[in-house]
Structure formats: C-alpha cells, structure tokens
Structure 1
Amino acid sequence: MASVLIRNARLVNEGRVFDADLLVDHGRIVKIAGSIDGENATVEIDASGQWLLPGMIDDQVHFRDPGAPEKGSIYSESRAAVAGGITSFMDMPNTHPATLTLAALADKKRRAAMHSVANYGFHFGVSNDNLDTVAALNPSDVAGVKVFMGASTGNMLVDDPRVLERLFAEVPTLLLAHCEHSPSIRLNESTFAERYGDNVPASAHPLIRDAQACFRSSSLAIDLAKRFGTRLHVLHLTTARELALFDDRPLAHKHISAEVCLHHLLFDDRDYPRLGNLIKCNPAIKTQADRDALRLALLSDRLDVIGSDHAPHTWAQKQQPYPQAPAGLPLVQHALPALLELVAEGLIPLPTLVAKTSHRVADLFAIPDRGYLREGYWADLVLIRPEPAGKAVDTQPVLAQCGWTPFAGRQFRHSVSTTLVSGQIAWHAESINDDCQGLPLRFMR
C-alpha cells in the first residue's frame, strides 16, 4: 500500500480550520503537522488552495445490488460515490432478495468485498415474519436495522402494531425508521386520482405524501422508542413540523436521532415543474419553507447527520407517467459538491457540514477510527478544490449505472479533486483507480 504525503492543505476537522501537511502510511494517518519533511512518500500531492476533509460517511444508500443491475450495483455506485467525496456507505436492505436473512447479508458483504472501491456496511431489514432473526442479530454484524413504517416496499412494510411493539422492544442495535403513514397516503392518492384520472402531475407528489403523513408516522416511532428505550434513528426528515419532535442537544446525550438528506436541503416544490419525476422520492421533497427549516436546523443539534438516500432508477422508468414512475434519484456522485453550495451561500459553516457528514455519522454508528482527521485513524480523505468560475456538472460523465443526474445543467463552486479510501487513492485527476478496495466498516457496540 502506497504512502501518501499531502502538502499545503487546509484541514477542516473537529470545528477547526488550519493549514498543515498530512502523511498516510499503511492505510492510516500517521502524522499531521505544519510541515512534514524527510519522508520519502510514494505519492506526494500539493494541495495548495484546497480543503482537506474527512470523507463523507453516507448512512443511507440503495445500490440495487443484488437484483436490479440495470439500475445500479455495488461496482458502479461505489465508483460514483468516491467521485462525490463519499468514502464509506451503508446500504439499505430493500434489494432483491431483501436483506432479511443472514444468508442475504453475507451475500451482500461478499459482493462488496469483490467490487466496492468505498468502505461498506449493510443495514438489516425487518418484515412481519423475521423478528426472531432480528432479535438474535449480533450488533457488530450490521450497520443498523431498517424498518419501513409506511411506504410499501414489497414485504418489508411493517404496520402491524404488535409487530412494531415487539421490534422496538427487542431490536438489539440501532433502529432506523422510514416514517410515512400509508393510510393517509392512500387516501390522498384516491383524491388526486378522482381529480386528475390517469394524468396526476408530479407536482402532486408532496401533496399526496404530505407533511401530515410524515408527522403521524414519525410521532408514532418516537413514542414507541420512548416507551421501550429504543435507540432510534429517524431517516430523511422533510418537514418543519417534524423537527419539533427531536431534542436540540448533542448526539452523545440522546437516544433518538435524526437524518436529513441532501436533496431535501437543495430542492423544493418549485422544482417539480422543471424536473418532474426526476425528483420524485419518498418521502417527498416539500415546500421552500420546509427546506429552509431543515437548513436552519443543521446549525443546531436537532439534525444529527446528512445522508444521500441515493436510489437510482433508469431514465426510461422515470419517463413514465407520474403514478407509475418509481421514487428515488441518484445523488452520490455530486454529494459533497452539492452540499458545499450551502457553505458557499453562507447558510452553514464548513466545520458544521463536516461534522454532519463525517464526525457525527461515525459517532452514531460506533465506527472506530474513521470520520475524523486524527493520527492513527484510517485515511478516508477528500481534497476539495474551489471552482471560482463554477464547474458544470455536465462536463463530467455520470458514473452511476442509470446514466443521469438531477443536477444536470447546474454548476458547483467546488469539486472533488482527490479521494482516499483506507489510505488508497480511489479518485484523482477525474479518474477512478480500479485497484482501490474498500474495507468493511466495523461497528463497536
């Protein structure tokens, strides 16, 4: 494994921004100092004018592997991820077959060991009939346990109150919840179908999967977590109203945490006329007021982490009429450049963004030796280059298997120049290093 010396970088870590050199050897950060001399590193990178960040740890992706190779695979999507500054990912269980058994979990780990250029972990799924398996899980074997408390996903929708109560009482590790109230959604769907027939517009999506449907489900999840003492992580908040359900205090002092996803921070319902089904996702992108409330909540401890919920579908699938078009969009390739627009606009300080995309994710999932720029830690690193004239998204090939991005036509004011994964160069000079091999994430619980 090559040693790498990064010179003249501006490091962003644990609330500080400072100039330093950083030396990597045998996959780990071995020295951080104002100037590092006398080292014969295999690779030297002059990072003058660039920020050096810990790589983003994405707590929620859908890499579609196994079961939907036309949409994505661990091979294709991990390459898109490192191009976007993501060095580690945690993949969701709603694949084909779903990750509802230990055999399915082992198969996904095997696939990642063969094909992933990013570090990897996997969430385990819950159905109405696998609670014995969930209760017996070794907490160190999975990133978390995912429950769909709404939004039908094959046999993974769990809406039986008795099953939910047992799950919250017996889950042995962090429980992640997708919260939407399905009966409310079905009622709204019927109302819009009566009004529009087969021509329901994509702009109806946030009205069908509305704020009330989210609030009813997330309220239930939090009530159950408080009743049973469950360590709960509520995924992809989309509404201002839901924010009041969460405490504004440091992650270490609470057992109910919350995630926001980058598309809910960067789009709002004014974008449906232009993008239509391309931004159809569950839960839905909602109003500008909701978006602004989520942005503001990042400045406090009410929102703990930022994820992507990368969920690709083919272009042809997205061109179907709104009721048939699947929900989800590809996001990992542009994750950090897109989020850095919030920094460029003065809406969030860069150290806060780093905390929500790296530090707090490592803390929440108990991932040792990652998520920080510290001597002895794994070298999961991202160099960010400013682009004063703006860099057009369309100048870079789309690496995700689906071949499209909702950011087409946009320009970003920062780009990812280099990504290191466990000390290996994974992305540099606009190119993937196929020799890079991500490592399995460890969960110290």
Structure 2
Amino acid sequence: MQARLLIRNARLVNEGRITTGDLLVADGRIDRIAPAIDTCADTEIDAAGAWLLPGMIDDQVHFREPGLTHKGCIASESAAAVAGGITSFMDMPNTRPPTLDMAAVAAKRHLAAASSHANFAFHLGVSTDNLDAVARADPRLIAGVKVFMGASTGNMLVDDPMVLERLFASVPTLLLAHCEHSQTITANEAEWRRQHGDAIPFAAHPLIRSAEACLRSTTLAVDLARRHGTRLHVLHLSTARELALFEPGPVTGKQITAEACVHHLYFDDEDYEALGSHLKCNPAVKSRDDRVALRHAVATGRIDVIGTDHAPHTLAEKAAPYSLAPAGLPLAQHALPALLELVHDGLLDLPTLVARCSHGVAELFRIRERGYLREGYWADLALVDDGHFAVEAAPILSRCGWTPFAGRHFRSRVRSTVVSGRLAWHRGCLMQGCRGLPLEFTR
C-alpha cells in the first residue's frame, strides 16, 4: 500500500474551472477533492495558493533508448520530464534498432518499467516493409502508430504513394504523422548549398525545410485520412498555412487532429541568430506570424494538444556545420514553465492550457483514468509556483546537459510532481524511489 499524500490550500485547475481546496492521494489515486479535508496523511504539502494541475501528458518524445544512450536514456530524460511537470510520456520509434514490431515495443516497456520516473507508453513505427506487422499490432499495447512522411532516413522514411495508401487503409489505431515533403526540402537545400557550400547559415533552416514542404505533406496526409476514414494526428504543426486543414473545437469525436510543440509556440526565426544549431529541429521553427497563428489555434482548439518533441543531442554533435548538425532540442524540463509564459502574457488562459496538455491528450489517445483531477483517477499532478525563476537556477537533468532556454527567465516553476500517487519531484530534488506505470488505453 502506497503512502497517503495530502495537498492543502491549492488552486486546482481542472475541466475549465479553477477552485480552491485540498486533494488527498491514497493507493496511487485521487481519493478525495474538497474545500477542506480533515484527515492525516503520511506526507502533507501546503500549496499556499499554488496552482495544482493534472500532470502534462507528452505525446511525443525521443528518449533515445535503446541504441542512442550517449544522448539520453529513459532514466535521464524521464527525470527531466518530471522536473518539468510531465507525468506521462509516449516515446517515438526511431531508436536503434527502430521500434517496428510488438517485440521491440515489449522490450522498451521492460526498460521503462525498471527505470522510468514517469508513466510511459511507446509508439510503433512504420517502415517501407513492416505494414503487415502494423496491421496486426495490438492497439491496447501501443500509444499510436508513427509514420515519418519526411525528415527520416532509411526505411523509416515512408513517402511512396502505394505504401501510404495501404498504411492509411489498414492502420488499426491512431496514426501519427510527421509531415514534410522530402523532395521540396532536398531541392531547397541543394540551392542553398550551391550558393554557400558547406557554410549554410542556420537561419536558412526554415527556408530549406519550408512552409511549402510542410503544407504539401500535411495536405496529402489529411486527404488520405479523409478518403480512408483514418484517425489521423498530425504532429508539430509549424505554419499558419497548415491550420486551415483542421477544424476548431473539442478534441472528442474528431477524426483528424493536430499537435503544436513548445518550441514552435515560444521561439521564432529571429532566434536563429542567437541560438544557431540549438534551434535546429524538424520541422523548423518559422516566422513570427506563424508563431502568432499557432498560439491562436491553441486557444481556439484548432490545435488539439501540445507536446514537446523532446529530442536531445550532445553539444559536440550540435557544434557541427549546418548540414551535419542533427535536428532536435531537449525541451521536457522547461516545457511547462515556457508554456505558462503564454498564460502570464494573457495569450492563453490556464484551463485551456491544461486542456491542451492533459485533458485533450488523455481523450485523443483514450488513456484510462489519467489526465484529470477526478476522484478515483490516478494521481498525476503538477504543483506550480508563481515567481521569478532563472533557468540556470537548477541543473539540467537531460543527459545532453544543455537547453535552448539558457539565459531565459520564467514566471512559474514546478515545485512538485506526483506520478501515479508518488512524489517524483519536490522542491528541486528528484525522488529516486518513484517509478512510473505503463499507460493503459481504452480501445
């Protein structure tokens, strides 16, 4: 039996409302929510008016295990996640070896059970030659099926029309798509290389991996989904032009949904001058107008969920010239504080942010008994303080040891994170005894 945890005097943000009260955790679940709870617990936390949110559920991370653990591993990256208020994650398949069958999914689940500080699930990948394995996959044991329609290599780049037709017609569960048109990107990069040789500036990245490349691929994915009745989730939208392909409104009942990522909501192309390779990601961070449009789409529900696409690389790898520097950013530890800046700036209200980071993800992926502050649900919680917070005030927990938010200041920080009823992060310390649980899906 797990210890009882009582959080007093919190401002609870849940299902469109903010209320003041106490929350009691027993046996890993939310036992009671009330204006005041008169009982004793093994651990008590006085929130003193801090915000108590459902923990963020991150639908897109690259935790690098197996095969790329010099960049990160499930233990290190999940530690960064819980320090940032992320209580559950869904890991992408482009590891080494890639996650292309249920045996590989099972192996990752075994690794996570032994080392993950957060709750976990794994996406099954699509290649040019594993469509039979995808069609046979058990939807209850995977978060989703991920297809790279651009920005991948080898047989995980799936842009053959016949393969895509078969995939969209036969995928047994939610299909997640990375949408960029490879031929457009290749032609753009060739032109920049003709002009600059190996000295392509990083500021060219959003022009090489252009808005047109994104729009062409996303349009294809949406058209395929409409023709085949596929449940499609398009990842990390980065342009205003793509937004017209999606409908505003609640996520429940939608066939086609979209995600925005923290970095596309926080940065814009003016940041390449200072950050260089530390802002290189796929799809690229684009213009300020794109960022404004994405923020508005989050507020109106045209974008359904927010993820991180957390993807660590070492500083040595990122020090390479443009064409060799890998794409991806470590974001999990500072994702929620960065998103809360939108709330402080009046661009988004807190209940809407919770809907995009927690409620909507649970609904979209049909996660059992998580994503809400509800009695009987698993206790996945983030307690957030308001107050000036410098990024450098806390160590970077991601194995790569850097963040694109270096030098930034946030107006909120994560004081405590509770994962399946256990304290995982509290007052700047990682609680080593906490282990997450596998997510369960109602499919």
Q: Work out whether residues 168 and 225 of structure 2, in 8 Å CA contact, stay in contact via their aligned partners in 1.
A: yes
Q: TM-score, normalised on structure 2?
A: 0.99
Do structure 1's residue 76 and structure 2's residue 72 form an aligned pair? no
Do structure 1's residue 416 and structure 2's residue 420 form an aligned pair? no
Query: Structure 2: how far apart are the matches of 1:187 and 1:357?
Result: 36
Partner of 1:11: 12
Which segments of 5 or more consecutive residues in structure 2 lack a partner in the other structure? none
Query: Structure 2: how far apart are the matches of 1:267 and 1:192?
Result: 23
Do structure 1's residue 438 and structure 2's residue 439 form an aligned pair? no
Query: Structure 1: how far apart are the matches of 2:415 and 2:253?
Result: 36
**C-alpha distance after superposition, 1:125-153 (max 9, x if no partner):** 00010000000111111000000011123
Secondary structure of 2:158's aligned partner: coil
More displaced, 150-159 or 283-292? 150-159
Alignment of 1:36-75 (within 5 A): 36-37=37-38, 39-75=39-75
- Give the Å deviation of 1:383: 0.3
Secondary structure of 1:8's aligned partner: strand
Alignment of 1:175-324 (within 5 A): 175-324=175-324
Q: Work out whether residues 232 and 256 of structure 1, in 8 Å CA contact, stay in contact via their aligned partners in 2.
A: yes
Which letter maps to 1:238? S
**C-alpha distance after superposition, 1:170-207 (max 9, x if no partner):** 00000000000000000000000011111000000000
- Give the Å deviation of 1:49: 2.2
Partner of 1:156: 156
- Give the Å deviation of 1:335: 1.1
Secondary structure of 1:155's aligned partner: helix
Query: Structure 1: how far apart are the matches of 2:153 and 2:72?
Result: 18
Q: Work out whether residues 129 and 155 of structure 2, in 8 Å CA contact, stay in contact via their aligned partners in 1.
A: no
Partner of 1:174: 174
Partner of 1:427: 425
Query: Structure 1: how far apart are the matches of 2:391 and 2:107?
Result: 34
Which letter maps to 1:121? A
Which letter maps to 2:110? R
**C-alpha distance after superposition, 1:195-253 (max 9, x if no partner):** 11110000000000000000000000000000000000000000000000001132123
**C-alpha distance after superposition, 1:402-423 (max 9, x if no partner):** 0000000001100000000000
Which letter maps to 2:251? L
Which letter maps to 1:5? L
Do structure 1's residue 381 and structure 2's residue 403 form an aligned pair? no
Alignment of 1:399-410 (within 5 A): 399-410=397-408
Aligned length: 442
Alignment of 1:82-93 (within 5 A): 82-93=82-93
Secondary structure of 2:245's aligned partner: coil
- Give the Å deviation of 1:301: 1.8
- Give the Å deviation of 1:166: 0.5
- Give the Å deviation of 1:303: 0.4
Q: Work out whether residues 383 and 416 of structure 1, in 8 Å CA contact, stay in contact via their aligned partners in 2.
A: yes
Q: Work out whether residues 90 and 122 of structure 2, in 8 Å CA contact, stay in contact via their aligned partners in 1.
A: yes
Which letter maps to 2:161? P
- Give the Å deviation of 1:169: 0.2
Query: Structure 2: how far apart are the matches of 1:29 and 1:158?
Result: 43
- Give the Å deviation of 1:68: 1.0
Secondary structure of 2:207's aligned partner: helix
Query: Structure 2: how far apart are the matches of 1:211 and 1:282?
Result: 12
Secondary structure of 1:403's aligned partner: coil
Q: Work out whether residues 94 and 153 of structure 1, in 8 Å CA contact, stay in contact via their aligned partners in 2.
A: no
Query: Structure 1: how far apart are the matches of 2:298 and 2:160?
Result: 33
Do structure 1's residue 347 and structure 2's residue 347 form an aligned pair? yes
Which letter maps to 2:317? Q
Secondary structure of 1:252's aligned partner: coil
Q: Work out whether residues 21 and 36 of structure 2, in 8 Å CA contact, stay in contact via their aligned partners in 1.
A: yes
Q: Work out whether residues 55 and 86 of structure 2, in 8 Å CA contact, stay in contact via their aligned partners in 1.
A: yes
Secondary structure of 2:49's aligned partner: coil
Q: CA RMSD in A?
A: 0.6
Q: Work out whether residues 280 and 329 of structure 1, in 8 Å CA contact, stay in contact via their aligned partners in 2.
A: yes
**C-alpha distance after superposition, 1:351-396 (max 9, x if no partner):** 0000000000000000011000000000000100011xx2110111
Q: TM-score, normalised on structure 1?
A: 0.99
**C-alpha distance after superposition, 1:283-322 (max 9, x if no partner):** 0000000000000111112100000000000001101111
Query: Structure 2: how far apart are the matches of 1:336 and 1:330?
Result: 13
Query: Structure 2: how far apart are the matches of 1:194 and 1:91?
Result: 37
Secondary structure of 1:68's aligned partner: coil
Which letter maps to 2:398? A
Secondary structure of 1:139's aligned partner: coil
- Give the Å deviation of 1:260: 0.2
Query: Structure 1: how far apart are the matches of 2:25 and 2:49?
Result: 20
Query: Structure 2: how far apart are the matches of 1:215 and 1:122?
Result: 27
Q: Percent identity?
A: 65
Q: Work out whether residues 137 and 172 of structure 1, in 8 Å CA contact, stay in contact via their aligned partners in 2.
A: yes
- Give the Å deviation of 1:40: 1.9
Query: Structure 1: how far apart are the matches of 2:98 and 2:409?
Result: 37
Partner of 1:103: 103
Which letter maps to 1:7? R
Query: Structure 1: how far apart are the matches of 2:84 and 2:427?
Result: 13
Q: Work out whether residues 144 and 176 of structure 2, in 8 Å CA contact, stay in contact via their aligned partners in 1.
A: yes
